Amino acid sequence: MKKLLRQYLGMTIGIVLTAAALNMFLIPNKVAAGGVSGLATVLYYLSGWPVGMIMLAFNIPLFLLGIKILGPRYGMNTLYGAAALSVSIDLLAPYTPVLTHDLLLSSLYGGVLSGIGMGLVFRFKGNTAGTAMAAAILNKLYGISVGQALLAADFLVVAFAGVVFKSPELALYATISIFVTAQIIDLVQEGPSTSKAFLIMTDKPQEVADGILYEIDRGVTFLQGKGGYTGQERELLLCVVSTSEVTQLKELIYQKDQRAFVIVADAHEVLGEGFTPVKPVGSVKGK
C-alpha cells in the first residue's frame, strides 16, 4: 500500500506540474507544443471550450481503443493520468498566473516545466494517454514505429496550429518547446550524467586493468572481442567511473598504452557497488 501511495503521489505531482506549465506558459501564448494538449490548445481558441475538457474528450475514446487493441496493460494508471491531467488543467486555470507573454521564454520554461512533470509521471509508471497511446495503437495495427508516429503526430499538431493561428513563428516556438520537453523527460527519468563508461581496446589489457583496480580503485570487466578487419582475438576492458575520475583514467591509459583506442560514453544512471544503491523506483531514502 505504501508503494502504491508513493507511486500515485509521484504521478500526481508530475500531473500538477504539467498542468501548471500549460496554464502559465503554453496555453496563454498559443504555443501548441504537440500532442493532445497542443491540439486542445488550438481548439480552445477556436471554440472557447476548456482545454482539459477537450483533452478528456480525445483521451477517453483513445483509452478505450487502447484497452481493446493493446490489452489491459494500459490500465488504471493511464486512466488516472489522463483524467487527472484534464481535471487539473481546468481546475487550476483560474488560479494560475501567466508569468510571461514572451514567446521564447514561454516555449523554454513551458517545455522545462512540462518535461519535469511528464518525466515524473513516467518515472512513477504513469501515463496520460494522448498521442503516445495513439502511436502505440498504430504500431500494433500497421507496424509503424512508435517514434515515427509520435513525431508525425506532433508535426501535424504544430502545423495545424500554425495554419489556424496564421503564424509560422508560433509553430517554430512550439517545436522548441517539444524539443526541450523531450530532453527534460529523459533527464528526469535517467538522471543527470554523473558517470562515464569507458570501453578500452589496448594491447596491454592486464596492465591497464591493474591500474584501474589498484590506482583508481574501480572495478573493470574483461570482454572478448575480435577485430573485424584482422580477425584477431583480443580482450576489451569496460569500466565506469565518476566524472571527477575521468582525467585520472585517461592519464592512466596513456601511461600504460599510448596506442590504446578508447570510447567514452555518458552513463546516466549507474546502480550497484561504488555508485547508487539498487532500490525500487519512487522509494524514499532512510535516515
Please identify which residue in the block is written with the cell numbers 589498484: 214
Q: Is 16 left (phi over 0), alpha (psi -120 to 50) or beta?
A: alpha
Number of neighbours of residue 35 by Cβ within 10 angstroms: 26
Give the per-residue pLDDT at 257: 93
Here the cell at position 78 is 493511464
**Cα separations in angstroms, 235 against 35, 198, 219:** 47, 14, 16
Closest-CA residue to 129 (of 44, 40, 203, 199): 40
Q: Are 103 and 28 in contact (CB under 8 A)?
A: no
Q: How far is CA 121 from the centre of its chain?
A: 10
Taking the domains of the chain in order of start, what are their residue ranges? 2-190, 195-267
Instruction: Report the CATH number of the 195-267 domain.
Output: 3.30.70.120
Strand 221-226 to strand 233-242: parallel, antiparallel, or no bridges (unpaired)? antiparallel
Here the cell at position 229 is 578487419
Residue 208 φ/ψ, nearest 5 degrees: -65, -40
Closest-CA residue to 174 (of 45, 20, 39, 31): 31
Contacts of 203 (CB under 8 A, 6+ apart): 234, 257, 259, 260
DSSP 224: E
Instruction: Give the tens place of pLDDT for each residue, 225-247.
Output: 888 878 888 899 999 998 888 99
Q: Are 193 and 215 in contact (CB under 8 A)?
A: no
2, containing H or E segment: helix 2-21
Give the per-residue pLDDT at 280: 57
Per-residue pLDDT for the chain (287 aa), expressed as one digit of tens each? 888 899 899 999 999 999 999 999 999 999 999 889 999 999 999 999 999 999 999 998 888 888 888 777 667 888 898 999 999 999 999 999 999 999 999 999 999 999 999 989 888 888 888 887 787 778 778 877 766 777 888 889 999 999 999 999 999 999 999 999 988 987 887 777 678 999 999 999 999 999 999 999 899 999 998 888 788 888 999 999 988 889 999 999 999 999 999 999 988 777 776 666 766 554 433 33
